[in-house]
Amino acid sequence: MKERKEVGINHLITDDSAWIDLLLSKTALILATLIILAAVYSLAGSSADLVRKDELEIIATEIASNIDSAGSSRSDNSVNCITFDPESYEQQLSKRNELNISVSGEYIFCTLTENGRDISAARQLSYRTLPLSPNKFRNLLSGTFGADGNSSQPINSAFPYADVTDFLADRGTGELYLNTSKELHIQKTTVFVTDGSEVNGLEYILVYQ
């Protein structure tokens, strides 16, 4: 048995047909090919995610720019409407049910769940925004301050109107989840406040459906 093993080792050492070179180089070639193919596959997969993310960013940017342009307009109470048509976007976001868009006082946030993974995009808003309808907004003010903040009924508050602004900032933290089959309404409104001597208007953008 021992003799036979020595013969085997000798045979290996003296064998100059270079088959081990061949095996090693072919194995390396196969391994490298596998690694490169896996890397290319994951790169292609992540680029598809990036395309989806870009589409979500387009939606978020479109809503945010509409809200910002309502904020920069000088006319009060004009209502802008946006209709959603996610299928019009480049790659067709056909899975409407899995597309979530939410609006809060600070951000527009879009999330798409695809293959169990969440892809999201957010946009910051430039103006003070509240996810409330005009009626609900005025009712909230009437219920809390006894005046709805219209020019005929300014809210009594001492400068810097912290009670009104803190109350509204608190309402702005809530999120409005948009129904993409309905129109989105954007309206600029003013809450009039008075400290007894001077009346000032606090501007807000209302976003509702």
Partner 1 sequence: MNISSFTSDERALLEPNNDIIATALVVIGFIVFAAILSKTFIAFNGNSQALENYEQAAMIASDIASYPPLQGSRQELISADTLEVLANPSQDPQSHYMFFHRFSSNLDFYVEVRTDDGNYQWIISEGNTALNGRDVIASSVPVVIELGSNARCEPGTITVKLVQNGWS
Q: Where on the chain is the footprint of partner 1 (CB under 8 A)?
A: 18, 21-22, 24-26, 28-29, 32, 35-36, 39, 43, 50, 61, 68, 71-72, 74, 105-106, 124-129, 159-160, 165, 169, 198, 200-203
Structure-block tokens of residue 42: 């994951």
Say how far apart CA 131 and CA 108 lie, in whole Å: 11
Choice between 91 and 124, CB closer to partner 1: 124
Length of the chain in terms of residues written: 209
Torsion (CA) 184, 185, 188, 191 in degrees, nearest 10: -100
Choice between 50 and 79, CB closer to partner 1: 50
- Closest approach, Cβ 43 to partner 1, in A, equals 7
Contact yes or no for 206/186 (Cβ under 8 A): yes
- Closest approach, Cβ 141 to partner 1, in A, equals 16
| Ramachandran angles phi, psi of 122, nearest 5° | -135, 150
65 SS3 class: helix
Residue type, 29: L
Residue 178: burial class (beta carbons within 10 Å; 0-12, 13-18, 19+)? buried
- Closest approach, Cβ 24 to partner 1, in A, equals 7
Structure-block tokens of residue 99: 């597309």
- Closest approach, Cβ 78 to partner 1, in A, equals 16
Contact yes or no for 134/187 (Cβ under 8 A): yes
Torsion (CA) 73, 79, 84, 90 in degrees, nearest 10: -20
- Closest approach, Cβ 168 to partner 1, in A, equals 11
Choice between 72 and 179, CB closer to partner 1: 72
- Closest approach, Cβ 5 to partner 1, in A, equals 27
